[in-house]
Structure 1
């Protein structure tokens, strides 16, 4: 198994767990669990592959990704009630999934020979869009749009860190590890310490 495939497997598994946790909060049935888990797990990677023109899309070529999503959904369906705070679990699992997915998307775009801007955007898309789809479908405010939180910013910083590491010839695998680490540190800081970006506040018009 290649390093990129390992990253995809990791992000699919953890994102599927977050999708199933969201389904538990929405009190869906087992089919709903499986749908939300799989949507979250493969959503970002699907958009990435479609935009890059990769054929087939990664989970079509390897259906085991869908099976991983379904397995995660079933596991959470029978164990979610044991968690003291499902939302807290959701936030932290999502932070890990985001970081791994950003590295995966960045690595795929690099392997396709894309320029730096596209590499960064594919990293962000892979990391953010699955969770965005998950939250929109169940009617929650998407984590990526929560006021001031570091989410898409963390993803972009991770992808940019990978490009910077490659500029200094550190190698692709170390660069992707750095991408995941930077992304996770920023996202974790936002969760644990409230790190955030300034938000726009309306002001009265000048006289």
Structure 2
């Protein structure tokens, strides 16, 4: 068996997102099956959309059984977590940021390796990063973070996908630069949560809504 760095990064990203899904399932009072399904949805959803758009055959999540391992592992880990950790929104956001940082990069690279142009690769990188989160939040009856006016979600993904695309086209993408790019995305996402950064509203004259996440 040969070591495949791209596969390992993809699996780590699936695991991070799956933990965020299982943590949300725990907060919502779902059962263990619901935890596995929600973790699978967020961990694999963005990649499935990406592979369908690339039209390279059946999505890899359905052709490689190893992709089912991270959601199962995430559900088991969350199941044995103390109750106060299960309900920690900060932990959920941290794992979500980790998945976002990895998927925006691996999504862009897969698009570039499939022959897509840089703009398409950038968009597919973002789609891979945010697609699963939308499915997770909608299924759990949450406001998707992508559309939360008090959150900065897509912009870090655009930054990461843009960095990966630029580095790949310059011939500078490697394990070190890829790791640094993911670290930039993760840091930007966590700093935005810490300091309340957000994008401008769709209309400047409108008032930013006040609401509390469930």
**TM norm structure 2:** 0.87
Task: Find the aligned partners of 2:35 and 2:48 in 1 and give their Cα distance.
Answer: 19
8 A contact 1:59–1:66 mirrored in 2: yes
DSSP 3-state at the match of 2:80? helix
Superposed, which structure 2 residues align to 1:184-203 within 5 Å? 184-199=186-201, 200-202=203-205
Indicate yes or no: 2:101 matched with 1:99.
yes
| 2:53 aligned with 1:51 | yes
Unaligned runs of 5+ in 1: none
1:144 & 1:63 partners in 2: Cα distance? 29
Residue of 120, 142, 147 corresponding to 1:118: 120
Does the CA contact (< 8 Å) of 2:46 and 2:132 recur in 1? yes
Q: Identify if the C-alpha distance between structure 1 residues 120 and 80 changes in structure 2 by more than 3 Å, giving closer, same or farther.
A: farther
After TM superposition, the structure 1 = structure 2 runs for residues 1-207 of structure 1, keeping only pairs within 5 Å, are 1-83=3-85, 85-199=87-201, 200-202=203-205
Question: CA, structure 1 residues 110+164, in 2 after alignment: closer, same or farther (shift >3 Å)?
Answer: same
1:99 CA drift (Å): 0.2
Normalising by structure 1, report the TM-score: 0.90
In the comparison of the two structures, how many residue pairs are matched? 203
Q: From the superposition, tell whether residues 84 and 54 of structure 1 become closer, same or farther in structure 2 (CA, over 3 Å).
A: closer
In the alignment, structure 2 segments of 5+ residues that lack a partner are 207-214
RMSD: 1.8
Work out the CA distance in 1 between the residues paired with 2:177 and 2:162.
10
Q: What is the Cα deviation at residue 113 of structure 1?
A: 1.5
Could you say what secondary structure the match of 1:79 adopts?
Answer: coil
